[in-house]
Each structure stands twice: as C-alpha cells, then as structure tokens.
Amino acid sequence: MNQQENAQKNVSTKSKEYKEECRQLLERIVALQLKVFKAPDLYVKEVLNVVELYKQQFELVKQNPGQSNGKFSIIAQFLSKVAIYYKTDLKFYIEDLMELINHFQNTLNQGLRKRIIFCLLRLRGKNLIEPYRMIVFLMKLFNCQDKDLRRIIFRFIIKDIKQFNKKHRNETLNKQIQNFIIDLIKKSQENIAKRALQIMIELYKKNIWKDNKCVNIIAQGCFNQNYKIKLLACYFLIETTENHVEIESSEDEADKYIQKKGKNKCVKPTKAREHRVEREKKMADKKQRKKLQKLKSSGGFFALDQIYSPQDFAERLFDNLKKHENERFSVKLAMMHLISRLIHRHKLLIIPFYTYIQKHLYPNSKDIAKLFAYLAESIHDQIPKEDLQPTIRHLIDQFINDRCQELTLTMGLRGIYEILQKHPKILDKDNITYLIHYIKYKNRNVSQAARSILNHFKDTNPQLLDKRLRGNKWKSTEELDGEFDDNFIQQITIGIDGAELLQQEEEEKLNKKFDVPIFCDRILTDEDFKRIRALKRKREAEIEQNKLQEKQQKTENIEEEEEDDQNEYEDEDIDEDEDDISEISEDSVESQDNEDEEWEDEDVEDDNDNDDNLEYEDDDDDNIKPDSKITKEQNKLRRQSLSELDEDSVQEYYSEESQISDENPHGYVREEDIMRYRKTKSEQKHEKLEELKNGTKEKWYQGPNKKKSEFASTSNKEKLKNKPLQMMRAKKVEQKNKESRIKSKIKDLKNKLGHVRSGKQAQRLKKQKIK
C-alpha cells in the first residue's frame, strides 16, 4: 500500500511541474508572438530556437501518440500564426503535421488531433496550402472516429469551395475536385463516400455547383451498393422537384414584421418606429434580390432536367431495382418514386414498370397509398391504352368490390380518378358504368369519390355516359356529333410547342423573316429548349399583367360613371328645391286667407285622404319612368353590390381552386390525395379506445407489465378517484368525523382501564422516576 501511495504522489508532483512548465512556455511564446508581428526580421534566431524545441517534441509525440502533449500543441499553434513571415524556413512544418495525422489518424489523442487540424486550417486560410491538396487531405479524415471533427471538416470544405468561386468560377479546380469525388464514391469506404455525396448536395443547394456534371455525379449514387448512399441520391432528385423559391414583395414582409413586433393596433406612431419599418423594407428588398439571383442562376430548371439521358438512366435504375429483390422496402419505394417522377417529367416509355408495381398493389400490402401515387404519377397521354388495361383491371378487381372495406373503396376510386386526369381515354364504357354505380353507396367518402369520376367524364367525354347522367348541357345526342370520337383517336400535334417564340426572337435579332419553320431548318439543342421554356414563362407573365390592367380600367370606368351620376343627382335636386319653394309660398298665402273655424274640418278630411294617397303611391311605383331619380339610385346600389361581389365573394369562391393549382403546379400525385377519408364519430371513438388499450410504453422501464383482463372489476378506491371533487366532498367529511369519534371513544376507554395515560401525565411520572 505504501508503494502505491508513493507512486501516486510522484505522478501528481510530475503533473504539477509539467503544468507549470507549459504555463511558463506559453507566456514566453505569447510575448515573442507580439514582437514577431511588429518586426519579423529582427527575431529570426529566436523563432529558430522554437523550431528546434518543436522537433524534440515532435519525436516524443511519434513515440506516444495516445498521450497528450501540451508543449507540442502550444508550439504548433505559434508556428501556424507566424508561418507567413518565414515561408522558406517552415516548409517542413506543414508536411510533418500532415504525415503525423495520416499515420496516426485514430490512435492520436483527441484533443491534440483537433488542435493540429485547426493549425492546418489556419495555414489554408493564409493560402500557404493549395486548395486541392487540402480538400483531398480532409476528405480522407471522414473515416475518423470523432463526430465534432467531422462536422468541422464538412463545414470548412463547403466554405473553402465557396470562397475560391466567389469572384469568378475556377473551372479547372472545380473539375479536379469533382473527378476526385467520383473516385471516392466508387472506390472508397462507406463513410467517406456518404460525406462526399453530402458535400455535393450542399453545394448544389447553395448555388455554388449547379452544373449538369454535379447533378449527374449525385445521380450515380443511385447505383451504389450501400443503401444509405442510394437513399441520399434518390431523395435529392425527388426533393429538388418539389421545393420552389417563393418570392414575396417587400411590403408583405414589412407587414409581417409589423404584425410580429407591433401586435397592438393602437400603437402611437413615432419616428423611431417609422425608421424601423423602413429598415425592414430595405432588408426585404435585399432578400428578394437574392432570391431572384438564385432563380436566374438556376434558370428555373430542376435537377431531373439536367440528367444527360433520362431514358437510359431510368432503364438502368429499373434493372437495378429488379435485381436486388432482397433490398429494404424503404429503398425500393424511393427508387420507384424516382422512376415515376422521371417518367412524368420526361414522358418516358417504360412499360414493364407498371407490371412491377402491380405485384405490390393489394389492399393489405404496406404503404399502399404511396404505391398508388407512384402509379398515377407515372402515367401520361403518350402511353398506349392497351398496355395499361391489365393494371386497371387489377385495380378494379382488388380495390373496388362489394367485399372491400370503405377505406379501400375510396382509395381505389380516388386512385383511378388521378389516373384519368393524366390519361382520360383509358377506361371503357362498361368500366365507367360500374364505377359510377357507387354514387348511391351509403358511405359519404365512397359516393364523393365516384361522383368525382362522373364529373370528370361530364367535362371531357359525356358521350360515354347515359343520357340521364350527362347533365342539362349534353342531354341531346345531336350536340355531341363531331366533337367526340368513339374510338378515342388522339390528335397528332404538328411541330414543337413554343418554337414560334424562338423564331420571332431570332427574326428580331437578324431583321429577317424565315420562309421555313425553325424546327424544320435545323435540329434544336438543349439550350434552344431552355430558351423556349423561358419565353413561355415570359408570355404567361405578360398575359397576367394584361388581365390586371383590364381589371383596373374597368374599376376606373365604373368610378367615373358613379361620379357623373352624382353630379346629375345634385343638378336635379337643385331644380326640385326651387319648385318646392315656389309651391310652399303660394300655399302659405292661401292658408293665411282661410279662417280659424275651418281648421278642424281640414284635419278630419286629411285623415280620410291619407289612405287614398297610399294607394296612389303604390300605383306610381309600377309606372316609374326610366329617367327618374329612383331608377338611378337602384342602379347605383346594384353597382355597389357587384363591386362587393368582385372583391369578396368571388375571391372566396375561387380561393380553394387557386390554392390547389399553386400547391401542385407540375401535376404531381401525393399520398394525401388518395388517402382522403373522413371518419365517422363511431369510428373515431373506436380508434381512441384501441389506442388506450394498446398504448405503447415510454423509453424508460416502468416495472412489470400488469395487464388486467377486460372483465376484471375495478376497486372502489379507483372509482372514487375518477369522480369529481364536489360529489365526494360531503362523503369525505362524514368519514373523517366518524373516524375522529371512534378514536376519541377508544382513548377514553383505555384511560378508564389504566392502559394509556395522557401525554402530560406520562411526562410527570418519568420525572418522578428519574429523581
């Protein structure tokens, strides 16, 4: 025991001495550092002495890499700060640090390793290390077992690439790094490949690398053997099609700021608050400019549009999906979602994909709503009708039957409705009559889903419906002749949609007119198609602006008409007032001539004449002249009612449709559209009871599972706990009174018998015994 205690004392004394030495060394180096910053040429010898001490400590670290070394970390940090002034003398310093980390990557002490890497990052910030060499060195450290260090490296790489592409794009360096990342994804370990792919995704999102090459490098991750890399690549290509940059005006953002900061409407307006609002408006304008720059840099295209050959890519991905049947189901779903999105976006033809999904489409299968959405999204007009009929028969047989539950019926009908919106000529007359038969189903969700199919055919092809279901517009068969075909022959489009806009633009530039259309003269490139899409968007924006201008003109015209009417009313009022004044003066003269005796007789006659005047007035209302004052007032009221309708009620009526179109402008099908099912009150109660019965335990342990049977009776105490307090208050008071009475009686009996004495008597007896 004595030997162990002595050993511990020696260790503690050594540690104290070592800490003091480190503290003294740090004070000397800080003083020297300040001198070097002022005059580096005067302190060369002192710096070289520190370099010799560095070499000694470097050898000690090689011998014991797992042990912490405070002196080495202090000297290394000093040299990283001073290396700018002594580039030739400290060339070996950078190579030594890199070799040390490469050889002892996981065996080095954690704190010492982090300080060495901070020194290297500082040297890269001062441009003493080349960027490509530094990024290659740091990428290999993603396999290190230190989470904080990996996070630091990840952020530094993104920041460094952003910095040397800030003023102008360094294409040569970007190509070198991209080629290196391709090799990492193919050959290196899982952790390094995953982090490299995450770096590419983050650079794409920040608009640093948004080229076609970057997107195709990420897309190659879909064919990797590791399932994590597959999911990363698939989710990236899917999510980039759904995220949109929403641009808001500066006034809207300023209003939001006012709602947050000044919630009280009756705030006193001061100069400080006005200046604050102006500042916020300026910040909102800056944000808006940044968002516009992002849109301009991206060109409004998604990552799926930048894939080189989408047909070959989709076929390869589908072959990979069929080969790996033992793959996780989440990976399969992601791959199916990506294939369906590619087919929808590029109008591809991959017919075996529909038979593959058909295997998974059953009422009891997992994530069936997602599979329905993927199937509906992958259908378009250019697919032949005969190839899709077996899948639709399968859906009708499995999901739309009298044996099926109500939820499966609604799911099947809504899924077919989404398919019909993409391919409206896919169903026959027999299938349509069978599906519309469910309008009379007792459940509201099923009947609404069937009615949506009926309304779809009323708008697109009412000839397939019975006469009683067509509606008032299409009751007669003569009106339908020549408009709709029985065989559903698809109209062939001639030319390219939007090529006229490109031709007009080129004619304006060259001041010439082409005799032949542009798509016949030459083959259009990808850049031409991008330009066509941009011109289409420009045309749509101009159309919307014209509509707004027309509405403003209408409102201005209405206001001018109202002002003219008011002026006419004022002129008429003046004329009528003059006539009334003349009449009143004549009546007053006559009334003065009349005697006071006739006053009573006139009152009686007036009472009898009032009834006749009322009848006369009612007759006049029917025969009003069109130029009278009353008609003008009525027209004014009608105009006001119409203006109120245009502003309030019409916007509320069309608000739901506008929201739907804004949320889903590209025609994607979602799980929520198919799983719309409103449950009844009885079903909601039943679900709540099941959740209470089958409630999951929390993470920590709560003792053994004591489950009671369904028919086991609860105790009286448990029943009392559930009752309200006011019902139990009187009973509890009675119980307490009874208990107190019983206790007092027992004490009296025991005192009489001599068993127990009161507290004061017992204390007196104890004192007497002690004395």
Q: pLDDT for 158-192, tens place per residue?
A: 999 999 888 888 889 999 999 999 888 887 788 89
Place of tokens 């949609």: 497
**Residues 410, 367: contact at Cβ < 8 Å?**
no
User: Which pLDDT value is given to residue 268?
Assistant: 66
Structure tokens of 183? 């090799």
Residue 492 has pLDDT above 70, yes or no: no
Query: Of the ranges 120-134, 435-449, 464-478, 734-748, which one carries the lowest mean pLDDT score?
Result: 464-478
Looking at mean pLDDT, say which of 372-381, 493-502, 589-598, 670-679 comes out highest.
372-381
Question: Taking CA 389 as the corner, what is the angle to CA 385 and CA 390, rounded to the nearest 5 degrees?
Answer: 145
Residue 152 has pLDDT above 90, yes or no: yes
The mean pLDDT value for 598-608 works out to: 43
Residue 430 has pLDDT above 70, yes or no: yes
The mean pLDDT value for 620-646 works out to: 47
Higher-confidence residue of 660 and 373: namely: 373
Q: How far is CA 248 from CA 75, 83, 108, 253, 294, in A?
A: 53, 49, 52, 7, 14
- What residue type is assigned to position 657 of the chain? E
User: Which pLDDT value is given to residue 461?
Assistant: 82
DSSP track, 344-409: HHHT---THHHHHHHHH--TTSTTHHHHHHHHHHT--TTS-HHHHHHHHHHHHHHHSSTTS-HHHH
Per-residue pLDDT tens digits for 18-31: 888 888 888 888 89
**Residues 124, 159: contact at Cβ < 8 Å?**
no
Distance of CA 489 to the CA centre of its chain: 41
Residue 657 has pLDDT above 60, yes or no: no
How many angstroms separate the CA atoms of 667 and 412, rounded?
Answer: 19
Residue 205 has pLDDT above 60, yes or no: yes
Structure tokens of 168? 């102008």
Higher-confidence residue of 627 and 558: namely: 558
Query: Of the ranges 81-90, 491-500, 617-626, 679-688, which one carries the lowest mean pLDDT score?
Result: 617-626
User: Which pLDDT value is given to residue 132?
Assistant: 92
Half-sphere exposure of residue 331: CA atoms within 13 angstroms, side-chain side = 23
Q: How far is CA 412 from CA 7, 234, 393, 399, 430, in A?
A: 80, 27, 12, 5, 17
User: Which pLDDT value is given to residue 725?
Assistant: 60
Q: How far is CA 629 from CA 386, 577, 578, in A?
A: 70, 14, 17
Structure tokens of 540? 């749509």
User: Which pLDDT value is given to residue 755?
Assistant: 55
User: Which pLDDT value is given to residue 300?
Assistant: 55
Question: In which band, very low, low, confident or very high, does the pLDDT at 660 lie, cut at 50, 70 and 90?
Answer: very low
User: Which pLDDT value is given to residue 770?
Assistant: 63
User: Which pLDDT value is given to residue 1?
Assistant: 47
Contacts 24+ apart (CB under 8 A), 391-394: 391/354, 391/355, 391/357, 391/358, 392/416, 392/419, 392/426, 392/427, 392/431, 394/358, 394/361
How many angstroms separate the CA atoms of 210 and 297, rounded?
Answer: 8
Per-residue pLDDT tens digits for 84-107: 888 888 888 889 999 999 888 888
Per-residue pLDDT tens digits for 705-730: 444 444 445 566 666 666 666 566 67
DSSP-derived 3-state class of residue 703: coil
**Residues 92, 111: contact at Cβ < 8 Å?**
no
Question: Taking CA 6 as the corner, what is the angle to CA 4 and CA 11, rounded to the nearest 5 degrees?
Answer: 95
The phi-psi region of residue 498 (left if phi > 0; otherwise alpha if psi is between -120 and 50; otherwise beta) is left
How many angstroms separate the CA atoms of 374 and 340, rounded?
Answer: 6
User: Which pLDDT value is given to residue 595?
Assistant: 43
How many angstroms separate the CA atoms of 444 and 253, rounded?
Answer: 42
For the chain, what's the residue count? 771
Question: What's the distance, Cα to Cα, between the start and end of the chain in Å?
Answer: 55
Average pLDDT, the chain: 75
Per-residue pLDDT tens digits for 675-696: 888 887 888 888 887 777 765 4
**Residues 132, 171: contact at Cβ < 8 Å?**
no
How many angstroms separate the CA atoms of 411 and 449, rounded?
Answer: 9
Name residues whose C-beta falls within 8 Å of residue 483's C-beta, 6 or more positions apart in sequence: none
**Residues 529, 299: contact at Cβ < 8 Å?**
no
The mean pLDDT value for 454-469 works out to: 84
Residue 247 has pLDDT above 50, yes or no: no
Name residues whose C-beta falls within 8 Å of residue 404's C-beta, 6 or more positions apart in sequence: 363, 412
Residue 603 has pLDDT above 50, yes or no: no
Query: Which helix (H) or strand (E) covers residue 292, if one does?
Result: helix 271-298
Q: 548 phi and psi, to 5 degrees?
A: -65, -40
Q: How many helices (H) and strands (E) does the chain have?
A: 33, 0
Residue 406 has pLDDT above 70, yes or no: yes
Higher-confidence residue of 15 and 211: namely: 211
Residue 608 has pLDDT above 60, yes or no: no
